[in-house]
Amino acid sequence: MKQRVITGLLFAIIFIVAILLMNTIAFPIFLAILSGIAIWEVEKAVGLKNILIMVFSIAVGVCIPFLFEFGVSVSIGAAGGLYVVAIFILMLLQFEKTRFQEAVISIFASICIPYAFSVMIVFRDIDEYVEGYSKIEGLYLLIFAMFASWMTDIFAYFVGSKFGKHKLCPKISPKKSVEGAIGGIVGAALLNLLLLFVFKKFIFETEPRLSYIGVAVLSVVLSVVSMCGDLAASTVKRNFGIKDFGKLLPGHGGIMDRFDSALFVLPVLYSSVYLVNMF
């Protein structure tokens, strides 16, 4: 427990520094590093032994945050098609030790993981993506997403440890409880409302488009999405017989173990903001 808390605090400090440097090249570099490690963890978890696929997929994945950073427009159809073909050619070169599902998982991981991380850059530059939003609101949305992810997990852990009696998904994650899930949702919602209050009181220069009711509703939705992300990651780990994706963060596991829920929350929040703005 002590190790988990210390590691969490150290990583929180690193993340805060990254946010403070979000308008510099350090930010996409940070996201590229997270992406590369997470892709490697997933490929290692599924037993990929094809070094060619591993190196190539990680190289492609770490480039994606920089595409967002520099506004490089890439045809998904053309680039994606070539990438898939390239991965399968590399599969053929080492066909004796490469299973089809490993190649497919590499494609999925090396595109979806860095894309989800890169949504942080989209929030930073939200005024360029969604009409009517300011950069300050983008900063709020970024922190909102991480609060919805991490605070749901933290409150669910502590409430579940003390009051948990009814299992949430015993076949996937035996330690998770219904009481913990409710505690996570309520705790994250209260903190996100407090975050909005602080931004309105001290940071926003004009009245934001975000209301307390809207944030409360979104927070509940994102907390549920966060838990789904965590359970999805637990399912993957169970399927491949591992406890954690990695050991980089003592007490937490790997980067994927720490960010599994955030990788669901970030794109869902951006999609929600974008779609609501259309109407």
Over residues 222-266, the pLDDT tens digits come to: 999 999 999 999 999 999 999 999 888 887 789 999 999 999 999
Alpha-carbon span 133 to 105, nearest angstrom: 36
Whether 130 has a pLDDT exceeding 80, the answer reads yes
> Can you give the pTM of this predicted structure?
0.93
Task: Quick: pLDDT tens for 1-54.
Answer: 667 777 778 878 988 999 999 999 999 999 999 999 999 999 999 999 999 999
Whether 139 has a pLDDT exceeding 90, the answer reads yes
- Cα 65 to Cα 43, 69, 111, 113, 201: the distances in Å are 19, 6, 11, 10, 32
Alpha-carbon span 260 to 141, nearest angstrom: 18
Per the listing, tokens 């590229």 go with 32
pLDDT of residue 1: 62
Task: Quick: pLDDT tens for 162-211.
Answer: 998 889 998 898 889 999 999 999 999 999 999 999 999 999 888 888 88
**Burial grade of 201 (CB within 10 A; 0-12, 13-18, 19 or more):** exposed
Whether 279 has a pLDDT exceeding 70, the answer reads no
Residue among 227, 199, 224 at smallest CA distance from 212? 199
Whether 158 has a pLDDT exceeding 70, the answer reads yes
Task: Quick: pLDDT tens for 76-115.
Answer: 778 889 999 999 999 999 999 999 999 999 999 999 999 9
Contact yes or no for 210/198 (Cβ under 8 A) = no
Contact yes or no for 237/45 (Cβ under 8 A) = yes
Whether 138 has a pLDDT exceeding 80, the answer reads yes
